[in-house]
Structures are given as structure tokens and as C-alpha cells.
Amino acid sequence: MLQGRTTISKFLIEQLRGADDQADLAALLVDVTAAVKAIASMTAKGALGGYLGSLGTENVQGETQKKLDVLSNNAVIQACEWGGLVAGMASEEMEEPYVLPRQFERGAFLLVFDPLDGSSNIDVNVSVGTIFSVLRHSKIGDPSVTDYLRPGIEQVAAGYAIYGPSTMMVITVGKGTHGFTLDREIGNFILTHPDLKIPEDTTEFAINASNERFWEPPVQRYVAECKAGKTGDRGCDFNTRWIASMVADVHRILMRGGIFMYPKDAKDPGKPWRLRLMYEANPIALIVEQAGGAASTGRARILEVTPAALHQRVPVMLGSKNEIERLDRYHREYDNGDDKPFASPLFKDRSLYGGENRA
């Protein structure tokens, strides 16, 4: 049945042929696929598996942990700790990096991951995912926290799995972005979406609109213009989608274009950003850039942000290039004070959007 089909291990071995540690990187990514298969099996069982619901504990970010957050975290650790390929691992669900048990050989890579992205969606049977990022560890000895704090540009591989109607993995090792679909009967990921490309233009955007009044003016401007559609400055109608699982929103963007935003907001002044740099924004940014898209904080390329802490958060805007460039421009114009009032009647003084937002 495998004839003519490319399995993920064959694909990775071929893409990473060459120096020794490239073969190790391929082997590490294959270990990650083993964890993904275990998580796919748990998520697919749903209520029948007894895995749903919360644990009554909180992670380092103060978020309630779902049973599956912790089970998925353990699945990744178990699949990747034994092979002599990683020097350490860090995850959304662990305050400090995971130190490998003494019996296991140390490898050349650091694995940073979000074991279950969108886990608030798990109890309602909506797609969730796993996001991972691989960095190099060139020092001898167990890594300290600071060894993990490398900008995303230094990632040697990144990817995500999406547990949807089908389970897929999307991976980059810096040579394009490629998608694989899990064939459950043979238990292997098969290359189904080689060389994914995000169209440069789009009329679809994703954002949690309930935060609108807390966004910064450049994001309010962008969204207001999209919503004004044909009658506004943009001169065309836009469509919105919001799944609240970043992997699922990003996957749609890889399949048909669009942009995803989780910008700064002033809802909780102690938490101006939602998404974490090292295991959400960075790996997704690399995947998106490798597919021809762009990923920005609005003021900087995400991949160039140097992390100051393992669980640091950042504003995220990514997807179709021309729209992300427009958002960057709106931020620049706002910061420079040359953000002209809109021509749209929505922005006249006595309108809904007048006054406070334009101050």
C-alpha cells in the first residue's frame, strides 16, 4: 500500500541528508511523530477515553490544566527523552525546562513545545494541535534556561500537528513547508501537501473580536476597514473566521490564505499579549515564512525577537504577506503620528469609532 507514497521519515531523511547531526534531527522529528500519534489517539477517543475535563491544577501561566494538556506533555517527553537526540525540553505546561533522567544520553537539540494548543476547545470536540520548535544546543552539559532563549530565526526545525477530522503534521526544516496526513490503517504520516504556499493577498482575517475595544488603534483601524468592506477604503468585502485554536486557524491560512491576529490588548494590563513566543509564535512564524507568508508583532519580525524568558508572550500577526505588511505600516504610521483620520463615515467625530480611539 506504501508504493508511490512518501512517508514522513523517508521525506525527512531525504531533506536532511548530509552532516551527522542532520540525521539526528530527522530522527528527533520522527520521535515527535510518535508522540503526535499517541496524542491523536487520545484526542480521537474523546469522552470514551476518559481523558476529557480539567485536572484542577494550573500551569505556570495561571491557566487551568486539562487532563489532556498533561497527558500530551508526557507523551512528548516519553517519545523524545530516551534517544540521545535532545539535551533538554521545555513546554507550556512546565515552569522550568525538563532535565533528562541521568540514564539517557544527551543530544545536540533543544525541543520546545506546546503539547496541546487550543485545549479549551477539547471538551467541545473542536480541532486542537501540538506545536514544536527545535533549537541547537552546542554546549556541553544540561542546558540552563538561558540556553533556550534564542530568537526564532535560529530554529532548525518547527512544526505542528492538528487533530481534526484527519490528523495532519506540517513541518519545516528551513526548506519549505510540507504537510502530511496520518493514515490510521498503516499508522504512518504520508506526504499529502508538499511545498505549501500562502497566497500574498487575501480577504479573510481571524481575530478574537470580543477584545476590539482593548486593541491598539492600528489594529482597530485595520479591522474597521475590513469590516467596512466594499463601502470603505479597502473597496472589497472581507470574511472572518475564528476557531480559537491557533493551529486550526493557521492551518486554514496555509490551505487557502488569510491572516491571523492576536495583537496587544489592554483588557488585563498585567497580560497585554496572549500567545507565547517560544512555543507558539516562533514555530508558527517559521512555518508561515517558509510558505511565503509573513509573521510580525506589528513592529518587528517575530523570528527576530530575542526572548527574555521561557514563557514570554508576544503580539502575533501572520499570514498573507501583503496584509501583514499593511498592518506593519499602520503600526508605523500610528507610532510616527501620521495616522490620518479615516475617510469612512464610521470614523467621523460623532461616530462609534470617534473620540477615544483617535486620541
Query: Does 208 engage in binding with ligand AHG (CB under 6 A)?
Result: yes
Q: At what angle do helices 67-80 and 20-45 cross, to 10 degrees?
A: 150
Query: Does 290 engage in binding with ligand AHG (CB under 6 A)?
Result: no
Closer residue to ligand AHG, CB minimum distance, 139 or 267: 267
Tell me, residue by residue from 103 to 122, as one string, x for binding to Mn ion by CB under 5 A and - for no binding: -----------x-xx-----
Residue with cell 513545545: 113
Termini Cα distance of the chain: 64
In whole angstroms, how close is the CB of 91 to Mn ion at the nearest point?
A: 8
**Dist CA 173 CA 57 (whole Å):** 35
Query: Does 117 engage in binding with ligand AHG (CB under 6 A)?
Result: yes
Query: Does 54 engage in binding with ligand AHG (CB under 6 A)?
Result: no
In whole angstroms, how close is the CB of 279 to ligand AHG at the nearest point?
A: 9
Indicate the residue type of 116: L
In whole angstroms, how close is the CB of 17 to ligand AHG at the nearest point?
A: 34
Determine the residue with CB nearest ligand AHG: 246
Radius of gyration (C-alpha) of the chain in whole angstroms: 21
Using CB under 6 A, which of 81, 114, 216, 265 touches ligand AHG? 114
CB of 109 closer than 8 Å to CB of 85: yes
Closer residue to Mn ion, CB minimum distance, 114 or 265: 114
Q: Which residues contact 256 (CB under 8 A, 6 or more apart)?
A: 199, 204
Determine the residue with CB nearest Mn ion: 117
Query: Does 246 engage in binding with ligand AHG (CB under 6 A)?
Result: yes
Query: Does 81 engage in binding with ligand AHG (CB under 6 A)?
Result: no
Residue with cell 540525521: 23
Query: Does 31 engage in binding with Mn ion (CB under 5 A)?
Result: no
Closer residue to Mn ion, CB minimum distance, 117 or 323: 117
In whole angstroms, how close is the CB of 188 to Mn ion at the nearest point?
A: 26
Considering only residues 133-162, where is the footprint of ligand AHG by CB under 6 A? none
In whole angstroms, how close is the CB of 115 to Mn ion at the nearest point?
A: 6
Using CB under 6 A, which of 118, 152, 164, 258 touches ligand AHG? 118
Using CB under 6 A, which of 15, 65, 72, 119 touches ligand AHG? 119
**Dist CA 251 CA 293 (whole Å):** 13
Query: Does 127 engage in binding with ligand AHG (CB under 6 A)?
Result: no
Query: Does 93 engage in binding with ligand AHG (CB under 6 A)?
Result: no
Closer residue to Mn ion, CB minimum distance, 114 or 216: 114
Query: Does 309 engage in binding with ligand AHG (CB under 6 A)?
Result: no
Q: Interface residues with ligand AHG (CB under 6 A)? A: 63, 92, 114, 117-120, 208, 244-246, 262, 274
Q: Which residues bind Mn ion (CB under 5 A)?
A: 92, 114, 116-117
